[in-house]
Structure 1
Amino acid sequence: MPNSRFRSLSLLLLAEVAGMSLWFVSSAILPDMIREADISSLRQAALSSGVQAGFVVGALVVAFFGLADRFDPRRIFALSAVLAGLVNLSLVVSAPGSTSAIMARFFTGALLAGVYPVGMKIVVGWGRKDRGFLVGALIAALTLGSAFPHLLALAGGANWHGTVVAVSLAAVLGGLLCLLVSLGPYHAVAPRFNPQVIATAWTNRRVRLAYAGYLGHMWELYAMWAWIGLASATSYALTMPEDQAVRLATITAFTAIAAGGLASVLTGLVADRIGKAEVALIAMLVSGSSALAAALTFGGPAWLTFVIVVIWGISIIPDSAQFSALVADHSAPEQAGSLMTFQTALGFALTIVTVQVTPMLATAFGWPLVLAGLALGPLFGCVAMLRLRSIL
């Protein structure tokens, strides 16, 4: 069993990295696309928020019909990742920022609903006492996958087509890899279609508070991930040449996002010892403070901005795993897949707004005010975790 567990989890994490590399490919290549074509700020935002919108639709379908709980989640993961990779590949033949490109991002997001939350269903089947670590490891894989396009864009320079092809092929291979994963001893199957499962999100107070904390977390997470490269470049450009600012901002975005992946694994180990709600609370206190610090030091020394953003990136993601693990802990095993998927659907519905309006608000009011506003999410999440701790 130990060897089977290690092998399956390793393959699953690799598949997750590969599949989720599709998420931020448009953000990573956006500066190069803008050099090639005149893309309005509305369409720039739509390339990112389109993924969120598609994900919400896909996640609602997966959650409502209980797909991850009723069917083999490995096959759902594999089919979703392969199709997402093929859809994303169409970006190389679509005009940058065109309606077809935005729609491709929407359908890519819809298909990724069969990758991220379904991956959580698989991973929680491999443990109970170390569930914080297991979900943390999966979130780390998701985070590394999200950072991967920034690294490819940095290596490929202005050749954004190559970045699109690379991540698309990686997603296809990741989907096929998931077929080699085994299901764990705690994997549970729902006997039938039961749409009333979703009502548990409101009737179970512990699940409800975990959802509330997750929504506060999502208020800042994807807005930061999607736009920290542009925000950093704008800050750096006040003290250095624009081309150097863009390059340093790309390095900043990759480092900040990737560092959060490692933090998710380490904090998962800690959460299994001191408590998931406690770890989520600490992470949100640090990430909210980092958002405020990034606002206060905007346009200052580049090294200071870099350090603050990396700390922000380290602290902004570890709580995500704990919110999902809390939902799994406090729901019936045969309902965990649906409830975790519905949780992500609500969270990503919120990100449609935050990702879309962030650059518009930055244009109207400036990046410092927008970065400070992102701290409101962690504040809300901290209140939810304090309430949850009082009843655990």
Structure 2
Amino acid sequence: MKRTRRAVVIGGGIGGLTAAAALHRAGLSVTVLERAGSLRPPGAAISLSPNALRALDVIGLGDEIRDLAAWQGDGGLRTPGGRWLSRSSARAAEARFGGPLVLLHRATLVASLSERLPAGTVRTGADAILADPGADDRPARVRTADGEWEADLVVAADGIHSAARRTLFPDHPGTVYSGFTTWRLVIPLPGARFASHETWGRGRLWGTHPLKGGLVYAYAAAVTPAGGHAEDERAELLHRYGDWHDPVPAVLAAAGPEDVLRHDVHHIARPLPAYHRGRVALLGDAAHAMPPNLGQGGNQAIEDAVVLAHHSGDPAAYTAARQPRADAVARRAVRAARLNLMTSRAGTAARDAALLALSKAAPGLFLRGFDGIADWRPPGPPYASERTRTG
């Protein structure tokens, strides 16, 4: 009888759970080891572009997420005073990239992914250490307080400060501070009507997007030294953004200090030698942490997961398939952050003038920034969506 291959996933975030679901679907016996006491992620939303939704189609989850999520409507870029620099059309985006951009709470996506796994697959409160990456002639080994696991494949989805990455590539410098911090909040704002927007100031930006159920997702970023925190982060946001255009003041008025999450942003500036070593594959932020300015961090992790399942017997093939693309997206995210968060007054004025002129000359300018990203297709059928065929 043929032996069932075993996979151990370190990390129960969106990338790790997607990998677990994809590997289970591919016939592997999967265990997920999550160090936190539960799978409930922090209170923030995630945007999923058509590339990630097509990846979720591969594991039979795409249509469910399309139903649970809010579909991105018309919107665009604005100045703090409210002037539109560039507008985008939801219909044009769907036509260009083969599907919608959607937004939903991270907890909703995590719950849907975990429901795709057999009972007992996920073990929380399990702080896992990569003990041996393995090789062709021996399995990889992962150690927890309860004992040791042997695996044909270990998926290191342990986040931006990945311990597994340090074990595999001890000479790699790891992440660097991206130069800015971010705030995120999801709050109820019943009856609010506004177009989705991202607003660029000088060294600051703000985005507001409607979710389902009368909820609003908002995020902000500002160039600031690393390690800063305010006693009251809502008050800090009011100080920085309280005089920006509607609906920013209304969102801040409806938020409480407990609603605001703040995190410094770090990224991998020097690409890794590979996304694998031995029988271990790095996934998501562990492999290619990037600034959030293209909204692609989680999307790229989801892509990683289905491509890894496609090449589950050959981690080197996974590196070959994923590293050129994900590293390129990461570089584009760094460039986007520099443009979004420009601090020079003259540079900001020139940026805004150029955006306004270009958007008038070429109305699809905003969407062109996602060419080569949102139009990605998974490596092979079958595709589970009954609505968005990708082959």
Range of TM-score over shorter length: under 0.3
Normalised TM-score (structure 2): 0.28
TM-score, structure 1 normalization: 0.28
Indicate the structure (1 or 2) with the bigger Cα radius of gyration: 2
Q: Which has the larger share of strand?
A: 2
If asked which structure has higher relative contact order (CA below 8 Å, sep 6+), I would say 1
- Larger relative helix fraction: 1
